[in-house]
Amino acid sequence: MRIAYDIIGNKEKAVALLDVNTKNPEKAAKEIMKRHKNVKSVLQKLAERKDVYRLYPCKLILGDKNTEVVHTEYNYKLKIKPQKAYFSPREATERQRIAKMVEPREKILVMFSGVCPYPIAILKKEHLVDKIYAVEVNPDAHKYALENLKLNRAEKKIIPVLGDVRDVKISEKFDRIIMPLVEKAIEFLDVAFKYSKKGTIIHLYGLSEYKEGSYGLEEKVKDIAKKFNVKYKIVGKQRVLPYAPRIMKIRLDIKIL
């Protein structure tokens, strides 16, 4: 039986999240729990993410009603409840790619930081980072972020900020800015420009088709940069994950000139 699902958690307790198009979810849930003894709850996405908090509306199909888990990846832990805060276990490798790029003493801004997977992954990889601001609009995700900072002993270097990144006030310019909201990050590129300086690297995530050697996302960047009179150079491109037929989740690395 082929089933599309993600598992969030650890060897002792995990939650499985079924794809929205799963047929016969009850049968799928039983099969998953048979395959994975650590899965104590199975949820199903009822629709795609739409609201500002990036949440999938979910339904408990089988198992424990308490779906809060501690997810482990690489050398850190993330406490989370899937119905309350967005998190993708599939992007663990991408988080490590970014962490490896970070140079000592950098000041970093992570927009749409969720439960803090990117900031914590970076801190665990590069302990000499200066500071990391983590901005998140979802109060529940922010609450879990605070818990995760304690869980990973990361309170001294990571500064969590609750609020819309367009409205919060931060009196810093950053060496690196990470924008992992694939559906709408491009709409906040002007905010990233505001917090940039010469040499800043912006990691912009988005959805795009690949056509004739480039991505459609690059044209949007060009238009926005022109509007705000920002000079830049795309210094890296990364295909992250398939998103839909002929649509790829990608990352553009933008260097401010």
List the domains of the chain with CATH numbers.
5-67 (3.30.300), 89-256 (3.40.50.150)
What pTM was estimated for this model as a whole?
0.94
pLDDT at residue 106 tops 80: yes
Extended beta strands in the chain, E state? 5-9, 14-18, 39-45, 58-63, 69-73, 76-80, 107-110, 131-136, 158-162, 176-179, 201-208, 210-211, 214-215, 232-244, 247-256
- What pLDDT digit, counting tens, does each position of 241-253 carry? 887 777 889 999 9
pLDDT of residue 210: 67
Considering only 86-90, 144-148, 243-247, which range has the smallest mean pLDDT? 243-247
| Rounded average pLDDT over 169-187 | 95
pLDDT confidence band for 208 (50 / 70 / 90) = confident
Contact 1, 32 (CB under 8 A): no
Contact 105, 153 (CB under 8 A): no
Pairing mode of beta strands 158-162, 210-211? unpaired
Round the average pLDDT of the chain to a whole number and report it.
94
CA gap 123, 104 in Å, rounded: 11
Residues 6+ apart with CB under 8 A from 146: 160
- Give one word for 7, left, alpha or beta, with left for phi > 0 and alpha for psi -120 to 50: beta
pLDDT confidence band for 194 (50 / 70 / 90) = very high
- What pLDDT digit, counting tens, does each position of 38-53 carry? 999 999 998 877 678 8
pLDDT at residue 32 tops 80: yes
